[in-house]
Homo-oligomer: A and B are copies of this chain.
Amino acid sequence: MDTIRVSPTSGSTAVAGMIAGRMRESRYVELEAADAGAVNEAIKAVAIARGYLKLDGIDIVVVPSFVEVGIDERKRSSLRLVLEARSQSQLW
């Protein structure tokens, strides 16, 4: 499944809608965020998507890691956010 690239102007509710759709389908989503504004937008989107998925009984956990993007001298590190589902029953 393709990684969703989040930018500072992606719109957290739009990203939340995409996250919710994919979580329902495959219980797994990968986001990539290259700067502070994008990371903020991505994390807000997850907080919103958790609300959308409540009735489906799906909760989301985020596992962040660094990833190198670009080539040669233009390499820089970006954040990869892996989203995984856990059933809400595991919360208790």
Q: Which residues of A contact B (CB under 8 A)?
A: 8, 35-37, 39-40, 43-44, 46-47, 50, 59-66, 79, 81, 84
Contacts and interface: CB of A to CB of B under 8 A. Distances in A.
A57 to B, nearest CB: 16
A10 to B, nearest CB: 13
Contact of A47 (B8, B40, B66): B66
A86 B79 CA distance: 21
Contact of A62 (B8, B36, B59, B64): B64
Contacts of A84: 61
A8 B65 CA distance: 19
B64 A59 contact: no
